Amino acid sequence: MGDWGRAEYLAREGIRDRRVLAAIASLSREDFVPAHERDAAQEDVPLPIGHGQTISQPYVVALMSEALRLRGCERVLEIGTGSGYQTAVLALLAREVFTVEIVRELARGARRRLHRLGFGNVFFREGDGALGWPEAAPFDAIIATAAPEEIPRALLNQLKRGGRMVIPVGAMNETQELLRIRRGMPGLLPRVERLLPVRFVPMTGQGSSMS
């Protein structure tokens, strides 16, 4: 399946945002996986990238990106850089991407990879993603590619009013749910939508969570 072939497959699976499909089509997933996984990179499956972490299947990457409803002018916070594949998709959809990875080797590998591919609108940090990036907040959108057991309070606090956060929530050995959370006006509770059941690696650190 070529890059445009992958986008056509995702469109058949229900992805409708043309900008998301074009971003997926412009990238080679093979560039973001270890050499011994490149033959499998065309498949719509998650793949190991080392250090107990995975690259999400393209459908989930596309779905999460679409759920953010990006138009190109946003500043986005990503929790869990991994190999940089989701980061690259976001960088094609938003004005700036701030990405945090706790595994040093993955963070530095993704930085080198994205610089080599010419992405100049991505900013990198090594550390506990559950703490977010307070100095760069607030963000128009936040996305997490690892699952906390509860929604980290720090991330919600760094989301703009009216902003959207897409995050998998739940323990590793239990059913996780992919949520879209919209932060409302002061005094109003966030609006939470359940998108679909998922399975993600656990978020390391996790700071403090919402009660």
Catalytic residue positions, numbered: 56
Task: Please return the burial class of 28, using the count of CB atoms within 10 Å of its CB with bins 0-12, 13-18 and 19+.
Answer: middle
C-alpha atoms less than 13 angstroms from C-alpha of 163 in its C-beta half-sphere? 21
Q: How many residues does the chain have?
A: 211
Pair 190, 158: CB distance under 8 Å = no
